[in-house]
């Protein structure tokens, strides 16, 4: 009897005991599908992540899953592996499962009609880490300009004037903002970035590797290189190691995004850290608020922006000769 198990309605001690005993005896577990069909709520949250093998996203997923289960929701984890087609299918799946809400880290390449499909969602959704143009959803992101600026201020303070950036396409808002912040911070000190030091087409580790090799081989080698995300940092570090350069004596390096092994290797890598735990918490908090007040989107859209921070370790130091400009 549902009243007994769910604690709704009034049931005598004795009956309750009998029901519970029988339930245990039979190994009874409530049928979630039937419940969902009847009640209209699935108590399932969708987690649609662009790439779960990215350690940064994994940290988010881990924290998100924890929070969700604490709140009594289960999570269907969908990994798009940066493939738009998989993302589309995964969205369809969550639609079918009648998820109560969704957290979306969108893929970089989008499919036709994505915005349209997202605006018509029958459940609340929130964007995490990456915002989408033309979609005024709740979102939790970091201040990417500030991330760039933090790195720039640190390098400038050390005396670096010839600095290089390894990044993906400036078409991507995140990369662009990080570069802008970096550039602007230097500019505020009267230092202007040499454009040929900005490697803009590093879309993956291999490309970052080649970009770093090019930078290292230049006669006017920069005194510091920054990689704008953890994938690119991997390629950069490999190139630096291959070249036999001594860090930070010959070259300072740093990255945006921390990685668990950045303080295991020597020299330990200086980074700009994203507050992943806080991002996950705020994100889940906000989503659950929407889910619980399921009376449509009466609440105003929230665009939560958190602040990254600088973590100085050993891979950055004063350049040997603070040459011209």
Partner DNA sequence: CTGTTAGCGCCTTCAA
Partner DNA sequence: TTGAAGGCGCTAACAG
- Cα 175 to its chain centre, rounded Å, is 13
In the β-sheet with 163-166, what is the strand arrangement from edge to edge?
A: 198-199, 163-166, 224-227, 252-256, 270-273, 309-311
Under rule CB under 7 A, residue 26 binds DNA: no
Q: 47-66: which residues touch a copy of itself (CB under 8 A)?
A: 52-53, 58-59, 61-62, 65-66
CA 69 – CA 280 distance, rounded (Å): 13
Tell me how far CA of residue 191 lies from CA of 19, 32, 232, 253, 317, in angstroms.
Answer: 76, 61, 25, 19, 18
Q: Which of 24, 25, 39, 325 binds DNA (CB under 7 A)?
A: 39
Give me 263's structure tokens.
């303080």
Shortest Å, Cβ 284 to DNA:
24
Q: 211-240: which residues touch a copy of itself (CB under 8 A)?
A: 234, 237-238
Under rule CB under 8 A, residue 210 binds a copy of itself: no
Rounded to 10°, the helix 276-292/55-70 angle is 40
Tell me how far CA of residue 169 lies from CA of 16, 164, 196, in angstroms.
Answer: 63, 15, 15
Under rule CB under 7 A, residue 37 binds DNA: yes
240: helix, strand or coil:
helix
Which one, 122 or 300, has the nearer CB to a copy of itself? 122
Under rule CB under 7 A, residue 23 binds DNA: no
Q: Which of 17, 30, 81, 297 binds DNA (CB under 7 A)?
A: 30
Query: Using an 8 Å Cβ cutoff, are 57 and 49 in contact?
Result: yes
Under rule CB under 7 A, residue 24 binds DNA: no
Q: How many CB atoms lie within 10 A of CB 190?
A: 9
Q: Which of 17, 21, 22, 38 binds DNA (CB under 7 A)?
A: 38
195 binds, among a copy of itself, DNA, none (CB under 5 to 8 A by kind): none
The size of the interface with a copy of itself (CB under 8 A), counted in residues, is 47
Number of H helices, E strands in the chain: 11, 12
325 binds, among a copy of itself, DNA, none (CB under 5 to 8 A by kind): none
Task: Return residues touching a copy of itself (CB under 8 A).
Answer: 27, 29-34, 36-37, 42, 52-53, 58-59, 61-62, 65-66, 69, 74-79, 81, 86, 89-90, 92-93, 95-98, 120, 234, 237-238, 241, 259-261, 263-266
Task: Return residues touching DNA (CB under 7 A).
Answer: 1-3, 5-6, 8-12, 14-15, 28, 30-31, 34-35, 37-39
């Amino acid at each position: 009897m549902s009243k007994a198990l769910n604690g709704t309605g009034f049931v005598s001690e004795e009956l309750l005991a009998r029901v519970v005993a029988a339930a245990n005896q039979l190994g009874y577990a409530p049928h979630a599908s039937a419940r969902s069909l009847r009640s209209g709520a699935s108590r399932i949250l969708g987690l649609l992540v662009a790439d779960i093998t990215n350690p940064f996203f994994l940290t988010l997923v881990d924290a998100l899953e924890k929070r969700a289960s604490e709140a009594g929701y289960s999570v269907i984890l969908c990994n798009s592996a940066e493939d738009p087609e998989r993302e589309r299918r995964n969205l369809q799946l969550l639609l079918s499962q009648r998820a109560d809400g969704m957290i979306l880290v969108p893929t970089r390449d989008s499919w036709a009609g994505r915005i349209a499909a997202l605006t018509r969602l029958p459940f609340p959704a929130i964007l995490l880490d990456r915002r989408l143009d033309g979609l005024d959803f709740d979102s939790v992101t970091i201040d990417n300009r500030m991330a760039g600026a933090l790195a720039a201020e640190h390098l400038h303070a050390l005396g670096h004037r010839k600095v290089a950036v390894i990044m993906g396409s400036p078409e991507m808002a995140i990369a662009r903002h990080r570069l802008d912040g970096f550039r602007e911070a230097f500019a505020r000190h009267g230092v202007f970035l040499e454009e040929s030091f900005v490697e803009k087409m590093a879309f993956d580790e291999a490309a970052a590797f080649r970009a770093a090799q090019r930078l290292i081989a230049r006669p006017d080698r920069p005194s510091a290189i920054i990689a704008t995300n953890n994938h690119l940092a991997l390629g950069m570090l490999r190139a630096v190691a291959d070249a036999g350069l001594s860090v930070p004596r010959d070259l300072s390096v740093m990255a945006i995004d921390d990685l668990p092994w950045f303080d295991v290797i020597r020299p330990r890598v200086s980074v700009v850290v994203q507050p992943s735990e806080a991002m996950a918490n705020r994100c889940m908090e906000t989503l659950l608020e929407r889910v619980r007040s399921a009376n449509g989107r009466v609440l105003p859209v929230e665009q939560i922006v958190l602040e990254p921070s600088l973590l100085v370790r050993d891979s950055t130091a004063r350049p040997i000769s603070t040459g011209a400009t």
